[in-house]
Structure 1
Amino acid sequence: MGIDDPENISESARRTTLAAVAAAAGVSMPTVSKVVNGRLDVSAATRARVEEAIRDLRYVPVSGRGRGEERFVEIVFDDLLNPYAAEIVNGAADAGATGGVTVIPKRHTGDTPREWARRVSASGRDGIIIVTSVLTSEQIARFHEAGLPMVVIDTINLPSTKFTSIGSTNFTGGVAATEHLLGLGHRRIGHISGLPTLACSVARLHGYRAALERAAIPTGPVATGSFSYDTGVREALPWLDGPDRPTAIFAGSDQIAFGVLEAARLTGLRVPQDLSVVGFDDTYAAASTAPPLTTVHQPLREMGELAVQTLLRLRAGEAIASHHVELATRLEIRASTAPPPP
């Protein structure tokens, strides 16, 4: 029986992991991937050890599946029902179509790390992409043990060599949004950010504060919450109803900015004549608000594409130049910002 021959393999053998083969052969998982994918940059002695371990453990590599059998990548969100997730899924699906894999969006179910890794491994996925979720050391270890490549988008954790992550230049985006408002003449600028446990929220907040400090302008009111419409309404209402209201608000996401627009409507303020609003993400809905939203463009589709491309490279045992990649943001100026009222 050859290493790519799946006939007469028991179901328990099919669940043998890449990590188990690597341990038996005394090599790394990328080396095992190189052998099963026919790469030539492995010595003859190492290749022989890996092939022996594959035979002994009766491991069926992903490359051993039938030619007509589909390949799948799972992409997991805490919340699927928002424009942010839709943009990432569309980009991931485009890259999947090019790479010959089907991308399956899923909502995190709250499985234990062991159950989660076992479920994904048993389903025959080529790997998993995790979006804006906290990763514990146990989760990382379980996916590693299962031999499942993993890529994280907008990680809540700080970037680490233990996993590959993709994000955007959140600090630079926060600076750009705030400097735009300062350039229009605003001096009372509030900021509503995401949860302080999120690395991207902290970076955007620091960008906001850095721009104000550089201009020698005091920091305005700051609030935190989830990246949601409700957060924007709830946090902006008391500011806009107060005697010393801000003339501009930089929101940490488009969803928060949409809530700020509603808070302005409820308090009788006009945007942008009475209040300027800037968001962050540039989801497809941003250009359709009334007025269209000035926002920091985060390359969400490109992040989804790169995540799939990176995952497939990891699956093939290729070396990754960097464990963390940040794609550039840019400011999209629309009609929701203007000079402050006299």
Structure 2
Amino acid sequence: MARPVGSQVTVRMIAAEAGVSIATVSRVMSGQARVAPGTQERVRSAAERLGATPPARRGSAEGAVFVRCPYVLTDYFGVIVSSIAEALDVHGRRLVLSAGDAARERSVLPGLAADPAVGGALLILPPEPGPELEALRGQGLPFVVVDPRTPLPGDIASVSAAHLAGARDVTAHLAGLGHRRIGVIGGPAEWLACQARLAGHRSALADVGVLHAPELLRSIEPTADWGYVAARELLELPERPTALVAFNDKAAVGALRAAYERGLRVPEDLSITGFDDTDLGRSTVPRLTTVRQPVQEMGRMAVSLLMRLLDGQAVDTLHVELATQLVVRDSTGPAPG
């Protein structure tokens, strides 16, 4: 197959030339051992005919680990990055950190694989769309996604909490207290975690014969201010909810403020729950019932997966979900009669 002079060889072109899938080309280019030798030879031959040579996997002794966390390093994100740094130190790996809101505006993934100083990467809740992550995978750079924002292809490694199970547990807790009209202050609708938690919420309601009412859902940026706005809207409904489940502890704090302004007692008049189990949730009055995410373990597990990829080991389970734990405190109680 001839190609125009100066044009770039893409993974899609190599896949078409070799008669295999794009995912197979990505695996061959990144050096995964799961591809049959004959198929590897077909892909490499196709790449050579097109004038491209698949990059070899970097060795475990080469390059720093690039950690991208395009958010302010407070509570949730700060704990993840700290646990990653500690785990990388145990492995003797140098860390290069790109963090903060300003990092969100910089396009770093396209040139990351070409940086000789970088051996692998850990991407925390990456805002980049799926095709950019697939392109990075196809360039042969080992990386792991921590808490994916959107669904990932099967050959991209990731670590997250069991969002569906955690949300199901907290809603089942409220349902067991007699709550049936439960408002949901969710995160952005396109986030994978938000979709999973809404599914868990609906599942727990279905167990007690209740359908989730659309008017009881608000999708927000999960901050205390937006949690306050969403809670105020829900509490102004003609038939207000008897409980609110918030996307995180920050949003739940905003809901506590909205309840206070309306003169509602928590939990006597209104139950409120959070998610994450941060220090913030343990400092409110009343203290928040919430769902504990294994945030430190997420960071450590991500490093463990990346080390295996860097060492060329086969990884059978690329998408790892870590168990959550319901933590019952003072902000939930029986549904008001």
- Counterparts of 1:261 and 1:282 in 2: how far apart (Å)? 16
Residue type matched to 1:215 in 2? V
| Cα distance change of structure 1 residues 263 and 81 upon mapping to structure 2, 3 Å threshold | farther
* Secondary structure at the counterpart of residue 122 of structure 1: coil
- Map of 2:172 onto structure 1: 179
| Cα distance change of structure 1 residues 268 and 81 upon mapping to structure 2, 3 Å threshold | farther
Cα displacement (A) at 1:307: 0.6
Residue type matched to 1:278 in 2? T
| Cα distance change of structure 1 residues 312 and 247 upon mapping to structure 2, 3 Å threshold | same
Residue type matched to 2:192 in 1? A
- Counterparts of 2:76 and 2:152 in 1: how far apart (Å)? 21
Cα displacement (A) at 1:123: 6.2
Question: May I ask how many residue pairs the two structures share in their alignment?
Answer: 291
1:215-294 correspondence runs (5 A): 215-220=208-213, 221-294=216-289
| Cα distance change of structure 1 residues 81 and 247 upon mapping to structure 2, 3 Å threshold | same
Deviations 1:189-218 (A, max 9, x none): 111111111111011001111111110124
| Cα distance change of structure 1 residues 63 and 301 upon mapping to structure 2, 3 Å threshold | closer
Residue type matched to 1:194 in 2? G
Residue type matched to 1:157 in 2? T
- Map of 1:12 onto structure 2: none
Q: Does 1:338 align with 2:333?
A: yes
CA contact (8 A) 2:71 2:104 kept: no
- Map of 2:191 onto structure 1: 198
* Secondary structure at the counterpart of residue 181 of structure 1: helix
Cα displacement (A) at 1:340: 2.4
1:101-120 correspondence runs (5 A): 101-107=93-99, 108-112=103-107, 115-119=108-112
- Counterparts of 1:167 and 1:276 in 2: how far apart (Å)? 27
Cα displacement (A) at 1:234: 0.9
- Decide which of 118, 123, 129 is 1:125's aligned counterpart: 118
- Map of 1:306 onto structure 2: 301
Residue type matched to 1:309 in 2? S
- Counterparts of 1:109 and 1:238 in 2: how far apart (Å)? 30
- Counterparts of 1:91 and 1:81 in 2: how far apart (Å)? 12
* Secondary structure at the counterpart of residue 203 of structure 2: helix
- Counterparts of 2:57 and 2:171 in 1: how far apart (Å)? 54
- Counterparts of 2:212 and 2:228 in 1: how far apart (Å)? 21
The TM-score, its normalising length taken from structure 2, stands at 0.77
CA contact (8 A) 2:30 2:137 kept: no
Deviations 1:85-120 (A, max 9, x none): 0121122122112111244442334344xx534256
CA contact (8 A) 1:171 1:205 kept: yes
Deviations 1:240-299 (A, max 9, x none): 244422111011222211211121122222222221111111123221222211111111
* Secondary structure at the counterpart of residue 96 of structure 1: helix
CA contact (8 A) 1:193 1:225 kept: yes
Cα displacement (A) at 1:124: 1.2
Residue type matched to 1:267 in 2? R
- Map of 1:323 onto structure 2: 318
Q: For structure 1, list consecutive stretches of 5 or more residues without a partner in the other structure.
A: 1-26, 33-41, 47-55, 66-70
* Secondary structure at the counterpart of residue 119 of structure 2: coil
Residue type matched to 1:76 in 2? R
| Cα distance change of structure 1 residues 249 and 109 upon mapping to structure 2, 3 Å threshold | closer
CA contact (8 A) 1:251 1:279 kept: yes
- Decide which of 48, 71, 74 is 1:82's aligned counterpart: 74
- Counterparts of 1:238 and 1:296 in 2: how far apart (Å)? 24
Q: For structure 2, list consecutive stretches of 5 or more residues without a partner in the other structure.
A: 1-27, 42-52
Residue type matched to 1:155 in 2? P
Cα displacement (A) at 1:233: 0.7
Q: Which moved more, 1:219-228 or 1:115-124?
A: 115-124
- Counterparts of 2:57 and 2:146 in 1: how far apart (Å)? 29
- Map of 1:30 onto structure 2: 31
CA contact (8 A) 1:140 1:162 kept: no
Cα displacement (A) at 1:171: 1.1
- Map of 1:11 onto structure 2: none
- Map of 2:15 onto structure 1: none
Q: Does 1:144 align with 2:164?
A: no
Residue type matched to 1:143 in 2? L
